[in-house]
Each structure stands twice: as structure tokens, then as C-alpha cells.
Structure 1
């Protein structure tokens, strides 16, 4: 049997990593972070336990990469949603709705992700995060930003703050209200993106 080519090996590596990332978001969403072990993740992914440590230095880094991949895929799907558009305001509205939607629909997973970012290990700029960043940066360029890099970083900070506010235990803010504030800041019409209702929430809601 001839040895596998580098291209085949790279494809197998990519598939293994993707299975691990998918298994991580599934299990943490189902069981929580502490109740999910690396052995559980390897078993769900159908890979050897040693591969987890080979590809990722620890569970926290694995989770960040897994959630960033989920965010990247969700954002990409929303940006390409029919009817397709390249209009900047429409794309930015979709981007905001994509991230706030994950906080609304996957609260356990996103709360765990945000808690991990606020630990001593902090924000990890993994390849999955860089793909997410590239989409947001490109969105700001379409929006008309003169400095997409700086404006992407501000958008990221605003979105992270909104996600924390949605998920804050004991004192959550309505996602609709936070969406309205972000849309007002960027002069986006309420009906753009994926509006949660027929009209914006009243002030103070």
C-alpha cells in the first residue's frame, strides 16, 4: 500500500478537527462545561483520545475554537441567506442578528464561552476566531467603514457586551432591546436582518 499523500493527510486532519469541534459544542450545550470531559468529546467525535491533546492544548482552548467555529458558520449562513445581498447596512444587520441569535438560542454554550474568555487564559486568537474576524471585518468594509479593522474591533466589543447582557444571570436584558440599541448606533432600519417583531420595542423595555 502506497503512503498517503500530504493532501490526503491534511484532509483527514481537517475532518478530525471538525468532528472534535462539533462534538464539543454538542456536549457542552447538553451537559455543561464541567460535566464534559475530553474523553467524552473524543468518543462523540469517533476519534482517539490522544488526538484531542495533539490538536488542542486543553479543554478551554478546544471550547473557544469550537464556539468560534459555530459563530463563524452561523454568521456565514446569515450573510448568505436568501435573498442574497452585498448592501452594507443589510449585511451588518444580519451579522448583529446572527450573534445575538446564538446568545438567545444557545444560552448555556454562549455563557460558558464568555466565562472562559474572562478567565486568566483570556481571548484565544485561533484559526476559527480569525475566520470569524475576517467575516466581521469584511462586513464593516461593505458597510462603508474607512477603517474596517478598527471598526471591526469596536463591533466585536459591542457584540460581546450585548451577549453578556443577554446572558447575565439574575439580570438579563431583552435581546430585542439590545438589538434596537445596536441598530440605532449603526443607523440600521429595524426591518433589516431578521427582526424579532413587527416594530422596535418601546423605550425602557
Structure 2
């Protein structure tokens, strides 16, 4: 039996890593962070326990990579959905809707992710995070930014703030109001992206 090629080995490693990331998203969404162990993740992924440690230094890093992978995949699908477009305003609207949609639809997972970002290890740069950053950077460039790097960082800050607003325990804000604020900030018509319903009335209106 001839040995596997380097390309085949690389593909097998990629698939193993992807299974671990997918299992992490599923288990944390179901059970929460503390109740999910690395052994649970390995079992769900059908992988050896040692493989988790081979790819990731710890559970916090694994979770960040897993959520960034989810965000990248959801964002890519949202930007490329039919009808396809190169309209920068429409693309930015879709990006905002995808991120707010994740906060609305996966609250436990996204609340855990945001809490992890505020821990001592902070924002972890990994391939999944870099793919997400690249996609958002491309989106602000299509929107017409003269400085995509700086404007990407500002968009990231606005989106993180909106996600916290949706998820804040005891005092959540409606996603529609946060969407309206972001759309006003970027000069986007409410009808762009995936409007959730009627545009909310401004406070005091």
C-alpha cells in the first residue's frame, strides 16, 4: 500500500479540525461552556482526545475559532445569496443582518463567545478569525471605504456593541432598534439586506 500524499494528509487534517470546530459550536450551544469538556467535543467529532490538544492550546481558543468559523461561513453565505450583487450598500446591510441574526438566533453561543473575548487572553488571531476579518474588510471596501482596514475595525466595534446590546442579561435591546441605528450610521435604507419587519419608531417619535 503506497503512502498517502502530502495533499491527502493535509485534507484529512483539515477535515478533522473542521469536525472539532463544528462539534464545539453544537455542544456549547446545547450545554453551555462550562458543561462542555474537551472529551465531549472529541467524542462528538469522532476524534481522539489528543487531537484536540494537537490543534488547539485550550478550550477558550477552540471556542473562539469555532465561533469565528461559524460567523465566517454564515457571512459568506449571506453575502453570496441570490440575487447576487456587487452593490456595496446591499452587501454591508447583509453583513449587519447576518451578525445580528446570529446574536438573535444563537444567544447562548454568542453570549459565551463575547464573554470569552473579554477574558485575559482576549482576541485570539486564528485562521478562522482572519477569514472573517478578510470578508468584513472586503465588504467595507465594496461599500466605498477609502481606508478599509480602519473602517473594518470600526465596523467590527459597532457590530460587537450591537451583539452585546442584543444579549445583555436583564436589559437586552431589540435587534430591530440596533439594526436601525447601524443602518442610520452607515446611510443604509431599511429595505436593504433582510429587513425583519416594519422599521421601529425612533425614541420620542
TM-score between the two structures when normalised by the length of structure 2:
0.98
Counterpart for residue 33 of structure 2: 33
Q: For the aligned residues, what is the CA RMSD? A: 0.8
In structure 1, the gaps of 5 or more residues are none
Counterpart for residue 10 of structure 2: 10
Counterpart for residue 63 of structure 2: 63
Query: Would you identify which runs of 4 or more consecutive aligned residues in structure 1 move more than 4 Å?
Result: none
- Post-superposition Cα deviations, 1:140-185, rounded to whole Å, max 9, x if no partner, equal 0100000001000000000000001110000001100000000000
Once residues 137 and 156 of structure 2 are traced to their aligned partners in structure 1, the CA distance between those partners, rounded to angstroms, is 10
Counterpart for residue 200 of structure 1: 199
In structure 2, the gaps of 5 or more residues are none
Once residues 203 and 128 of structure 2 are traced to their aligned partners in structure 1, the CA distance between those partners, rounded to angstroms, is 37
Once residues 81 and 202 of structure 1 are traced to their aligned partners in structure 2, the CA distance between those partners, rounded to angstroms, is 29
Counterpart for residue 129 of structure 2: 129
- Any idea what SS the aligned residue of 2:188 has? coil
Counterpart for residue 43 of structure 1: 43
| 1:203 shift after superposition | 1.0
- Post-superposition Cα deviations, 1:94-149, rounded to whole Å, max 9, x if no partner, equal 00000000000000000000000000010001100000000000000100000001
Taking the TM superposition and a 5 Å limit, the aligned residue runs for 1:127-166 are 127-166=127-166
TM-score between the two structures when normalised by the length of structure 1:
0.98
